[in-house]
Amino acid sequence: MINLRSDNESKVFPEILDYMSKVNNEISKAYGEDKITKKAKSLITDFFETEVEVLFLVSGTAANSISLSAICPPFGSIFCSDNAHINLDECGAPEFYSGGAKLIPIKTINGLLSVNSLNTKIKNMGTHGVHEMLPSAISITQTSELGTVYSPDHIKNISSLAKKNNLKIHMDGARFANACAFLKCTPAEITWKSGVDILSLGATKNGALSCELVVVFNKKLFAHIDRRQKRSGHLLSKQKFIAAQIIKWIENDRWLQAANEANNKTRKIITILKNNKKINIIYPVESNMIFAEIPLDLELHLKKNNLEFYNWPSKKNTLRFVISWNFKDQDIDLIKNILKKNLV
């Protein structure tokens, strides 16, 4: 089988598993009071080049929902992409954790929110006073759900609009590493240096076992963020095993190596796909995701040859291919041969 379904199904870095096993041989304090968690927090501070508050979690939905609850009141609204994971794939968790906040989905350009569309939507709110939700936050996804990437300038422009309207900025960074690899920029440059207040940092899709963080940059949000974690049921007694993962994820730039591997293999595959006249690539390929319109006969041919993918639900005849860091070079050759068979 050639797995192009999701990077959630990718392997774990061996060094992470080895280190978790080593940590398991030590008796440590619970609830993040251990030396492993303290070491991880220090590494994360260096990683982002600034003082941060960090929550260690096991799911992206929890990271997003706790983050949004910290920047939006129950009577507030959160502007996001109509394709946003928080809008389509989290079963109302952001609304639940915030106590009732309302998501305002906005159409995008290739998955990216534009300043103009945000400005128009924000201007159209606030005319009914107490009778409507209070605009409170903007959530952007980096890398976007359609595989495109926000540049630092794009984020700065959105942040500038947010600050003018007293809104906070949340970034869903489930594929944050792939964006950094594509942009060739530092984590700081596309977060707090561009005006992001709070980040959901995902490591699971890029080599971790189950490791998602809330990283808080805005010091005004530091207070009681830990209580949100506890009250939501996400304060782990054996937190050191999450901390151990992020240590080995960051050390020796393993996170960036893996993201580059995934992105580079994606570029090889996109070259193969573009040579097939039946395939129409519908969004710019800027990370490790490819979206393609493919006729039914070719889709069935791919399935018959054990190529696994995801049928994108919001667009007919569209398949999503996601390339993981551990995708094999020999499978790239197999894809090429499978497509050749169809042409014959």
Instruction: Choose the final residue of a domain: 203, 230, 252.
Output: 252
| Sheet strands (E) in 174-243 | 198-202, 212-216
| Mean pLDDT to the nearest integer, 318-322 | 97
**The domain containing residue 55 runs over which residues?**
13-252
For residues 37 and 155, membership in a common domain is answered with yes
Q: Which of 8-22, 38-52, 67-81, 309-323 has the lowest mean pLDDT?
A: 309-323
pLDDT at 316 over 90: no
Mean residue pLDDT of the chain comes to 96
How many domains are there within the chain? Answer: 2
Q: What is 113-173 written as a DSSP string?
A: --HHHHHHHHHTSSSSGGGSPEEEEEEEESS-TTS----HHHHHHHHHHHHHTT-EEEEEE
Residue closest to 269 by CA, chosen among 311, 306, 323, 340: 323
User: 179-203: b or e for each residue (b if 16 or more CB lie within 10 Å)?
Assistant: bbbbbeeebbbbbbbbbbbbbbbbb
Global pTM?
0.96
Confidence of residue 138 (pLDDT cuts 50, 70, 90): very high
For residues 72 and 172, membership in a common domain is answered with yes
Phi and psi at 128, nearest 5°, equal -110, 15
For residues 85 and 230, membership in a common domain is answered with yes
Residue 321 parent element (H or E):
strand 318-322
pLDDT at 55 over 60: yes
pLDDT at 128: 78
d(CA 296, CA 301): 8
For residues 30 and 73, membership in a common domain is answered with yes
87 SS3 class: helix
Do 249 and 13 form a contact (C-beta atoms < 8 A)?
Answer: yes
pLDDT digits (tens, 9 = 90+) for 241-287: 999 999 999 999 999 999 999 999 999 999 999 999 999 999 999 99
pLDDT at 329: 94
Instruction: Choose the final residue of a domain: 228, 252, 276.
Output: 252
For residues 169 and 301, membership in a common domain is answered with no
Pairing of strands 102-106, 134-141: unpaired
Count the helices and strands in the chain (H runs, E runs).
13, 13
d(CA 307, CA 79): 36
Residue closest to 290 by CA, chosen among 313, 322, 263: 322
For residues 178 and 265, membership in a common domain is answered with no
pLDDT at 124 over 90: no
pLDDT at 344 over 60: no
The CATH number of the domain holding residue 274 is 3.90.1150.10
pLDDT at 65: 98
215 SS3 class: strand
pLDDT at 226: 96
Confidence of residue 343 (pLDDT cuts 50, 70, 90): low
pLDDT digits (tens, 9 = 90+) for 187-241: 999 999 999 999 999 999 999 999 999 999 999 999 999 999 999 999 999 999 9
Instruction: Choose the final residue of a domain: 209, 232, 252.
Output: 252
The CATH number of the domain holding residue 96 is 3.40.640.10
pLDDT at 127 over 80: no
Cis ω on the peptide bond leading into residue 143 (within 30° of 0)?
yes
Do 249 and 207 form a contact (C-beta atoms < 8 A)?
Answer: yes
d(CA 7, CA 205): 5
HSE, side-chain direction, 13 A CA sphere, residue 295: 9
For residues 186 and 261, membership in a common domain is answered with no
Residue 64 CB neighbour total at 10 angstroms: 30
Distance, first Cα to last Cα, the chain: 22
pLDDT at 153: 98
pLDDT digits (tens, 9 = 90+) for 285-314: 999 999 999 999 999 999 999 999 999 998
